Structure 1
Amino acid sequence: MGEWRTITLRLLGCWDASVHGARVQTGSRQQRLLAALAIRGPRPRHYLAGLLWPECSEDHALGSLRTTVFTLSRRAPGALVCHGGTLALSEAVEVDLHHLLELVVRPVASWSAERDDAWVLAHPGVELLPGWYDDWVVDEQARLQDLYVNAVEARAELCLVQGDVHRALALARTARDTAPLRESGLCLLVRAHLGLGNEAEAWRTLRSYCSDLARELGEQPSDRVRELLEPVRRR
């Protein structure tokens, strides 16, 4: 990122904002406005007022929004820009979520092992705004997890195909840890273990998955999962 990025907004794993490296002290209203603009992009004031203060009358919500914008202009100057009745984050704001979204929508074949794979492995199970339960945040949390796990699994699959089994194993573990009951992630992990000749670890992984699936959902694994280890069982 260029040096002109003077404001950093962190939404993955926690909420944090800083200006020139110094943490910004903000209240929940300012935090939610910045988060909403980072997640939803530029939006009209009426939209933001209704999103952030759904229980209030329109006039009251718009008043709360004006106060929040004024407070932010004092605590994080330059963070917001206004075009007519639309509010947006300025280009001076760097958002970690945007980096992740840019990564997961790109074809995994274009990922760099040194940069992109390393970033994923250094940020396992990215979680958007943990502890926030606003409806619009919860919806985005679920969407982001799906995008993240789909991309990591696709990258692990590509690594398996290309014979980079150790990297595939690391990525498959990351996907499995993010979505433990997801069958596709379990299959990738078992295949990676078998690719490295770790049959005992593959069996242990499968048994752990079956136990978790029965405990959490009262279900048994599909035939697809059981067939993964059928050649090993026959031997």
Structure 2
Amino acid sequence: MKAQDFNEDLKGRTSFSVKAGWLRSTLKGDDVNELAVEGKIDKRNNFFVGVSVDNSIGTYFGLKHELYYQNYGADFKRSLDDHTFDATLEMHSLRLNPISPTFKIGGLQVYAGPYINMLLYSSITAVDEEGKTYKDHGIFGSTEDDQEDSKYLQKMDYGITAGIEYQFEFGMVLGIKYTKGFTSIFDNANTFGVDKNKGMKDIKIYNQTFGLYLGYRF
């Protein structure tokens, strides 16, 4: 089937897909040194699963809507109370890509749009008074936390997502995607560092991921 014939066959239709894949995540920003020794962040291998809805609104154009559950974060070294240790920031969330305009040529799709991330769980490796490491779940925060004095992860963040995927005629979907956060993941994280001129400062650290995935279109 030719590319145009394939597009015409899907024109005006809505299709559903399930997807799962590998996620390579990291943290970016001018203030990663506030979290990691010398600001060195190691990428972390993770996974995601989700569903996608494609609305074909023309021969070459469509809209993509996606919802994913994902595990992501980063590895780095931390220094607390004269202890340096290997640490991991682990996060689990639901990621909604509400609407991504899509350009189509046959089974090939190129898309980009905003995302909204809803944090479900998080932990960070910390160290106790005896120098032993443990998982600190307090970084997730709660409604009882003093937002001016506590340092915890932002429950919501947003950014952009972009990707390329190929939908085969027999239903299989193969793709790659990239996301870049625009919201610092630490809410009221001014307790992490001090600006000598302005006193306490907000810390700028952002999520960034790259993923490969397989799926099936119904």
Q: Does TM-score exceed 0.5, indicating one fold?
A: no
The answer to which structure has the higher strand fraction is 2
Which TM-score applies when normalising by structure 2? 0.24
Which of the pair has more CA radius of gyration?
A: 1
Which TM-score applies when normalising by structure 1?
Answer: 0.23
More RCO (CA 8 Å, sep 6+): 2
Query: Which structure has the highest helix share of the two?
Result: 1
